[in-house]
Amino acid sequence: DAGVIQSPRHEVTEMGQEVTLRCKPISGHNSLFWYRQTMMRGLELLIYFNNNVPIDDSGMPEDRFSAKMPNASFSTLKIQPSEPRDSAVYFCASRATGGFYNEQFFGPGTRLTVL
Amino acid sequence: TQLLEQSPQFLSIQEGENLTVYCNSSSVFSSLQWYRQEPGEGPVLLVTVVTGGEVKKLKRLTFQFGDARKDSSLHITAAQPGDTGLYLCAAGGTGRRALTFGSGTRLQVQP
């Protein structure tokens, strides 16, 4: 199994540009989570999906952030327009069907730098 | 929101030393997990504890869940440089709910 796949691994962009982060969950997992990690705030949940439906997006910082999951094997997190304070490592994680204790498998992350 | 506080925030020790890190909350949890994150990678699950007072061992790592299921500890015996990383506790994720993560303990083991 390839695990959770994220792309790109690194992204450097200028303030005001649109950024799209991509995630492919582990096949068969029905829950997908987007997190943001910074030194100051630690690991924060942004949004999560169950069976492709957004369940809780209360962690999304503001309207500049949006996430979609058009099918069970793909999700995107978009930031438009990006700002320097969005610089962080963004992780995608997925959970196995029937995983009562919510064991989550994380991707390697996308390191985003907004200049 | 269920708040998980971890201590210490940073720990730098010599190879061979023992250490304990803590995860505390005012909330009761049905289960608690510990993850380790190495530089440049995502967190990886180490263990899940579900019963108050439960002790689990993973080689040199010993995990304990408090009797009241509000706190947990991770003890490492004879630490090695390969133990270096960020240790995160997480709880609250059952059924359809997402996990809440603690702020983490950053461990550096010097050779």
B63-102: per-residue pLDDT in tens? Answer: 999 999 999 999 999 999 999 999 999 987 666 677 889 9
Query: How far off is chain A from B2, nearest CA to CA, in Å?
Result: 13
Euclidean distance between the first and the last CA atom of chain A, given in angstroms as a whole number: 36
| CB contacts < 8 A (A, B) | 55
- pLDDT at residue number B29: 86
pLDDT at residue A15 above 80? yes
Q: Which of A60, A101, A103, A111 to substitute to test the interface with B, most B CBs within 10 Å?
A: A101
- pLDDT at residue number A61: 86
- pLDDT at residue number B23: 96
Facing residue for A45 by CB, picked from B43, B94, B98: B98
Which is more confident, B35 or B96?
A: B35
pLDDT at residue A17 above 80? yes
- pLDDT at residue number A103: 80
3-state secondary structure of B53: coil
- pLDDT at residue number A101: 65
Q: By C-alpha distance, which of B57, B62, B45, B51 is closest to B29?
A: B51
Q: How far apart are CA B49 and CA A44, in angstroms?
A: 22
A25 shares contact with chain B (CB less than 8 Å): no
Q: A6-10, A47-51, A97-101 — which is least confidently predicted? A: A97-101
pLDDT at residue A98 above 80? no
Residues 14 through 53 of chain B touching chain A, CB cutoff 8 Å: 31, 33, 40-45, 48, 50
- pLDDT at residue number B3: 82
Q: Which of B46, B48, B96 to substitute to test the interface with A, most A CBs within 10 Å?
A: B96
Give me the mean pLDDT over the A66-84 stretch.
97
Euclidean distance between the first and the last CA atom of chain B, given in angstroms as a whole number: 39
